[in-house]
Amino acid sequence: MKPINLLSIFFILLSCNSKNNQTQKAQTIIKLELKKGDYSFFEPIENTIQFSSQHEKYPKYYQDLLSNSDFDTKDSLIIATLKTNYFSFILEQFKKGFVSKEEFIRKGIDSLKYQNAPKDNKLLVGIQFKNDHQILYIDQNKNGNFKDENPIFFKSDFRNHDSDSVNLKGIPEISYDYWAEHEGVITRFKRKAIIYPSLNDYRFYGDPDDEISKKSRLLLKFKDYWEAKAVFDDVEYTFVIQGRFKGDFSLYIKPSTQNFDDKNPTINQNYKYEIKDSIKLGNKIFVLEEISNDLNNLKIKEIKGKYFVYGNKVGQKLKNFELETLTLKKEKLADVLKKKKYTIIDFWGTWCKPCREQIPTLKEFYDKNKDQINIISIAYDKNLNDVIQYTAKNKMNWSQYFYHRNNGKGIISDLRIIFYPTLLLVDSEMNILFKESGTSDLKEVNKILEINKVK
């Protein structure tokens, strides 16, 4: 899979629209339930939080933790802090004299706003290294005394893992209770999580590199998520939320028959939405209106009238782009798609090795299904003759189109095609049914077509 613009990888256009005679109906509430479990497709930034030592930034605070820990100095205890509310944490340190008045003013914290906030604004973990083990004491009762907590043992080299591994399955779960403030409202959360050492996680990049700081690097990983299932026009959809609170969460919505992919994150971007986005559910168009502070209730509102969601992800509609054939003839996309009920659009280039490796798979699929399914390939290339010669030599006998790499507008730029190859499955009404980047074996495409009883 070849990237073209890495800066845009996670910033895909969520929705554009065209509307006429729009009216709105009453809100529908999708009730989500916090469920124990783990979706492996979540990005680390969505379901993990990092601890760090405060011994350099707030040395008085750190020494105070050590003195109240009930550990002797000779025990070589290190303490890691997870600030569950940064502003309340800083206010607390200011009151104790651990943060100067000048620094507190510089941070611009509204002290009145957090004056009566809950006091449990952090989670502490004591850390020791003994006999080739790293031992964690998680202060679940939040009294700062680690000796009344059950130790969790890791091999000393466990922390050298860069990311999740099978070893995570054996880590004891904890109850992680925290609170969050959003627009003046305090909300309590009770979550399931695991905590484990991670020396080289990318989010510690730029942190202090002394031994205490490195030994205090821990991650908290949520082992639960919010989920709901709802049916619209006989199609069941799965709603999934992961995150910490209303100001920091991710929302995924997909047909229940389609799968998240833990190996190809670009597929999951098809299902990722934000509040105020438009989405097609069944045969209706909705706006994602609002999420409750506890993340349990998602309000959506149906839009009536002539309304389409144009964009680049599943459930949205293609614009009627103009395409250019290899003979430089202009064709409208809508006319091309009307030829068959379903069409695969292949974005590729002669310069792209994964694209070339995928061609035999496309040829086999086309030979078997050309009576029912159409394929069109759009070459993102600099030289038209290269495309003509390559497609002829490799007997790519389906419709071929050319998009010059210097072209700054049109189907590739509007659909944010970043990786090559990228495949879209669309229907004759120009609805996007599936989008996948990277070399594909077409299993998901075949699955969708089978569900729609094409084959």
Q: What is the mean pLDDT of residues 195-209?
A: 88
The reply to whether omega before 354 is within 30° of 0 (cis) is no
Q: What is the mean pLDDT of residues 261-284?
A: 87
Give backbone dihedrals phi and psi of 13, rounded to 5 degrees, phi first. -55, 125
Q: Which residues pair with 288 in a beta bridge?
A: 300
Which band of pLDDT confidence, cut at 50, 70 and 90, is reported for residue 218? very high
Instruction: Give the pLDDT confidence of 231-243 residue by residue, as tens digits.
Output: 999 999 999 999 9
Q: What is the pLDDT of residue 323?
A: 96
Domains detected in the chain: 26-37+225-313 (no CATH), 44-222 (no CATH), 318-455 (3.40.30.10)
Instruction: Give the pLDDT confidence of 298-346 residue by residue, as tens digits.
Output: 999 998 876 677 888 888 899 999 999 999 999 999 999 999 999 999 9
Give how far Cα 66 sits from Cα of 225, 292, 294, Å. 34, 39, 34
Q: What is the pLDDT of residue 332?
A: 96
Which band of pLDDT confidence, cut at 50, 70 and 90, is reported for residue 164? low
Q: What is the mean pLDDT of residues 342-358?
A: 95
Q: What is the pLDDT of residue 454?
A: 59
Q: What's the one-letter identity of residue 23?
A: T
Question: Residue 107: helix, strand or coil by DSSP?
Answer: helix
Above 50 in pLDDT, residue 7? Answer: no
Nearest to 235 by CA among 218, 258, 204: 258
Q: What is the mean pLDDT of residues 176-187?
A: 91
Nearest to 80 by CA among 54, 103, 115: 54
Above 80 in pLDDT, residue 244? Answer: yes
Q: What is the pLDDT of residue 313?
A: 84
| The model's pTM | 0.78
Query: Considering the chain, what percentage of its residues have pLDDT values greater than 90?
Result: 61
Which of 6-20, 346-360, 423-437 is predicted least confidently?
6-20
Above 60 in pLDDT, residue 112? Answer: yes
Question: Residue 35: helix, strand or coil by DSSP?
Answer: strand
Above 50 in pLDDT, residue 189? Answer: yes
Q: What is the pLDDT of residue 447?
A: 85
Per-residue b/e over 53-86, b at no fewer than 16 CB within 10 Å?
Answer: bbbeebeebbebbbeebebeeeeebbbbbbbbbe
Q: What is the pLDDT of residue 12?
A: 35
Instruction: Give the pLDDT confidence of 368-424 residue by residue, as tens digits.
Output: 999 889 999 999 999 999 999 999 999 999 999 999 988 878 899 888 888 899 999
Q: What is the pLDDT of residue 222?
A: 97
Above 70 in pLDDT, residue 17? Answer: no
Above 80 in pLDDT, residue 6? Answer: no
Strands 342-348 vs 373-381: parallel, antiparallel or unpaired? parallel
